[in-house]
Amino acid sequence: MATHVKPATAQTPRRRTLGPQVPLEGDNGLYTQAWFPICMSNDLAPGEVKGYPFLGGRVVAFRGEDGIAQVTSAYCTHLGADLSVGKVVGNHVQCAYHMWEFDRAGACKKTGCGDPAPARANLFAFPTLEKHGLVWAFNGEEPHYDLPEWPFPEADLVVQTQEFPVPMAVDPWVICAQTPDIQHLLLLHKFEVLPGGIAREVEWTDHSMFYDIDGIWGGRHMQVRGGIIGTSIFFQTGTLDGRWFGFLAAFGLPAPQQSRLFSVFAGERTEDEVEVRAFLTECHEFETAIAMEDSEIAMKMHFKVGSLTKQDTTLARYLEMVRNWPRSHPSEEFIH
């Protein structure tokens, strides 16, 4: 005789308990208004233009003769040629098809045939910054927060920036959500907590959260203050076995539910730069080993806010911050 599972009762509800959800990047055509890395500074020599996927569309980054990097929409406003096929002339990017030229503000300054440049033929120029060895673009008209600074003057530091070759199939903010997830530091990463503790107090602003970690991981003593800025940046400074280092992880947003991973390590400059760089490589390997413990989970997860418990309080507050984050997509008509 066939048996079957009994239907749901009040004791075994069939409905899943869900918390308030966080919109995914690209939901309703909107993206968080945040700074996102587009490429490494090293990828862009003076006079170079290169194309990158961003926000589900395409942008170019170019560096004029003046050395200043700019991110704009990729498609020429004449007939849509991809400007990454073009070149940089002076401080303008020039389309390869009919030689229209655009300045850093995206304004068309010149046509190849000599007709006057149309007044309303501008590219979308993203607010652009170059910092920490990365070229950043802000999704929005006006940035509402700054990129973080190291606690020492940059001249006193050796900084190493690199891109992790494999993108991840989740939104940047989902990766960021690991940091306010204090439980997983203890349970998954098995941080051994020292008297300074982990996240005893969390410092919140309207766009960031930071806390202290004093713990042992992989036999090494990590005493740092780390946190999240916005929806795309992990930032941490402190010591590894007593020696200062800084670590910034920046997550690019090529398309909905995709992240590009960049990491930046900083160490105090000494006479022996080779030795400092060896230390930064060691810091990189240390942080990568921690991140590898998360990677399969992050790659395969289907992020959804379900039933949370008391120890999820910090995570819940971060998710609320992201849920309420301003969203827009002013470049939409330009980058597709």
**Contacting positions for ligand FES (CB under 6 A):** 76, 78-79, 81, 95, 97-98, 100
By the rule CB under 5 A, 259 interacts with Fe ion? no
- Nearest distance, CB of residue 42 and ligand FES, angstroms: 28
Q: Which residues contact 127 (CB under 8 A, 6 or more apart)?
A: 137, 138, 140, 141, 142, 143
Nearer to ligand FES (CB atom), residue 33 or residue 73: 73
Residue 284 binds which one of Fe ion, ligand FES, none, with CB within 5 to 8 A depending on kind? Answer: none
| Contact letters for Fe ion, residues 129-158 (x by CB under 5 A) | ------------------------------
* Cα-based distances in Å from 256 to 29, 264, 279, 326: 10, 24, 35, 17
Contacts of 96 (CB under 8 A, 6+ apart): 81, 85, 86, 87
Residue 88 or 168 having the CB closest to Fe ion: 168
Give 3-state DSSP helix, strand, coil % of the chain, rounded to 5: 20, 35, 45
Work out whether strand 35-40 and strand 259-268 pair parallel, antiparallel, or are unpaired: unpaired
**Least distance from C-beta 248 to ligand FES, angstroms?**
37
Number of residues in contact with Fe ion under rule CB under 5 A: 2
User: Which residue in 69, 210, 73 sits closest to 131, CA to CA?
Assistant: 69
Q: Which is nearer to ligand FES, 111 or 295 (CB)?
A: 111
Residue count of the chain: 336
Among Fe ion, ligand FES, none, the one that 52 touches (CB under a kind-dependent 5 to 8 A) is none
List the one residue from 43, 48, 282, 294 that touches Fe ion (CB under 5 A).
294
State phi, psi for 115 to the nearest 5 degrees: -60, 150
- How far, in whole angstroms, is CA 134 from its chain's centroid? 11
The interface partner of residue 79, options being Fe ion, ligand FES, none and the CB cut-off 5 to 8 Å by kind, is ligand FES
Q: Which residue is nearest to Fe ion (CB)?
A: 294
Q: Which does 294 bind (CB under 5 to 8 A by kind): ligand FES, Fe ion, none?
A: Fe ion
* Cα–Cα dist 184/191, whole Å: 9
Please, which of residues 157-186 interact with Fe ion by CB under 5 A? 178
Q: Give the H/E segment covering residue 136.
A: strand 134-138
Positions touching Fe ion (CB under 5 A) are: 178, 294
